[in-house]
């Protein structure tokens, strides 16, 4: 017991603020879901202490999760325990979590309850791997015994060497001097209704440098009431087109032209409809001050209705993010 007391007192003394700051050259790498914050001395960036961990005036608790350092008795200002401030609890998967409490919803996500709301961060890598000559068709695959999917290279069948025209090789139209042009598929729209954004990664530029491109998108208007358009005896309306020309608006700026776009519809049997084939077109927006800005926008050609819809508590693993076909514009 004497050794434990001496150790605790030594650690506490070491956590007091001094007049000078001495910080490492690079900030620490915090685990997923742990905030990188300024220490209590206002000197160095540190990984915030979490619920139930020991804290001091220097080693602060995670403020983004509503935690504070509870020192207990007023005269004890050396070592405390990170505790959550009073807030609404969260219910996830039939379990009640206190505000500030962290838990894993699955092996892929770590979540935190914060005053009745749940936020999660992925524990698996979300990197993008572009095709390359040594790995022409990369794809994520499930590995037995592991939670996170891993990249695997899929090679096309090798044909006889006497028929060179049938062997695999880069598309000559996608070749430039010292550059193999590579472009990923467009991601799904960031919103299931209303105006959102879609992104992709490409090196299709003069420097052959990877860059992220964005385009506007609208899967469907938010107040469309498409259920009323489903014909009698049918369960879905898949790809309806607006009856009257409309203009798109962003930040008070309106398109200079009117359009009759297609949108993805709805179903009555639990299926959800998402874009399947799309194209990208340039658009001009005119603002109230007279400024004209140009944006690219996704236009839907066809939609697919399926049962791969987000679950009630499935915060991140939404199969709404399906691969869209036929759009490399």
**What pLDDT is recorded for position 311?**
44
Does 41 lie in the same domain as 114?
no
Helix, strand or coil, per DSSP, at residue 12: helix
CA distances from 144 to 138, 149, 150, 227 (A): 18, 10, 11, 42
Radius of gyration of the chain (CA): 27
**What pLDDT is recorded for position 322?**
40
Does 217 lie in the same domain as 101?
no
Residue span of the structural domain in which 226 resides: 172-304
Residue 146 lies in a domain: no
Q: 215: Cβ–Cβ under 8 A, 6 or more apart, which residues?
A: 186, 197, 198, 199, 280, 295, 296, 297, 298
**What pLDDT is recorded for position 259?**
92
Residue 153 lies in a domain: no
Residue 322 lies in a domain: no
Does 263 lie in the same domain as 227?
yes
**What pLDDT is recorded for position 174?**
52
The residues of the chain scoring below 50 in pLDDT are 1-14, 158-172, 311-326, 328-329
Does 94 lie in the same domain as 57?
no
**What pLDDT is recorded for position 175?**
53
Q: What is the pLDDT of residues 1-22, one digit of tens each?
A: 434 443 444 344 445 677 788 8
Instruction: Of 112, 93, 115, 116, give the one whose Cα is nearest residue 102.
Output: 112
Q: What is the pLDDT of residues 247-283, one digit of tens each?
A: 998 888 899 999 999 999 888 888 888 888 899 999 9
Does 253 lie in the same domain as 189?
yes
**What pLDDT is recorded for position 317?**
37
**What pLDDT is recorded for position 284?**
92
Helix, strand or coil, per DSSP, at residue 223: coil
Q: Number of folded domains in the chain?
A: 3
**What pLDDT is recorded for position 72?**
75
Residue 110 lies in a domain: yes
**What pLDDT is recorded for position 47?**
92
**What pLDDT is recorded for position 310?**
54
């Amino acid at each position: 017991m004497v050794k434990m007391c001496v150790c605790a007192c030594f650690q506490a003394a070491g956590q007091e603020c001094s007049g000078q700051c001495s910080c490492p050259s690079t900030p620490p790498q915090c685990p997923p879901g742990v905030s990188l914050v300024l220490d209590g001395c206002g000197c160095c960036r540190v990984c915030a202490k979490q619920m139930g961990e020991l804290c001091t005036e220097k080693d602060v608790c995670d403020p983004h999760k509503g935690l504070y350092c509870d020192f207990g008795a007023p005269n004890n200002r050396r070592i405390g325990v990170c505790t959550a401030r009073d807030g609404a609890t969260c219910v996830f998967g039939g379990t009640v979590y206190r505000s500030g409490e962290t838990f894993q919803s699955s092996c892929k996500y770590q979540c935190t309850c914060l005053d009745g709301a749940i936020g999660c961060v992925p524990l698996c890598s979300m990197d993008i791997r572009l095709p390359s000559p040594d790995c022409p068709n990369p794809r994520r695959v499930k590995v037995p015994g592991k939670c996170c999917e891993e990249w695997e290279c899929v090679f096309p069948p090798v044909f006889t060497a006497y028929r060179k025209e049938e062997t695999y090789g880069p598309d000559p139209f996608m070749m430039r001097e010292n550059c193999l042009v590579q472009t990923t598929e467009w991601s799904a729209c960031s919103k299931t209704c209303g105006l959102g954004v879609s992104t992709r990664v490409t090196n299709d530029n003069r420097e052959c440098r990877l860059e992220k491109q964005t385009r506007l998108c609208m899967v469907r208007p938010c107040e469309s009431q498409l259920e009323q358009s489903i014909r009698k005896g049918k369960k879905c309306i898949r790809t309806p087109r607006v009856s009257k020309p409309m203009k798109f608006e962003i930040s008070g700026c309106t398109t200079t032209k009117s359009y009759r776009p297609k949108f993805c519809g709805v179903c009555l049997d639990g299926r959800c409809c998402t874009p399947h084939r799309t194209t990208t077109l340039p658009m001009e927006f005119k603002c109230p001050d007279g400024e004209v800005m140009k944006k690219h926008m996704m236009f839907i050609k066809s939609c697919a209705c399926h049962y791969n819809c987000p679950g009630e508590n499935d915060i991140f693993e939404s199969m709404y993010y399906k691969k869209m076909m036929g759009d490399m514009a």
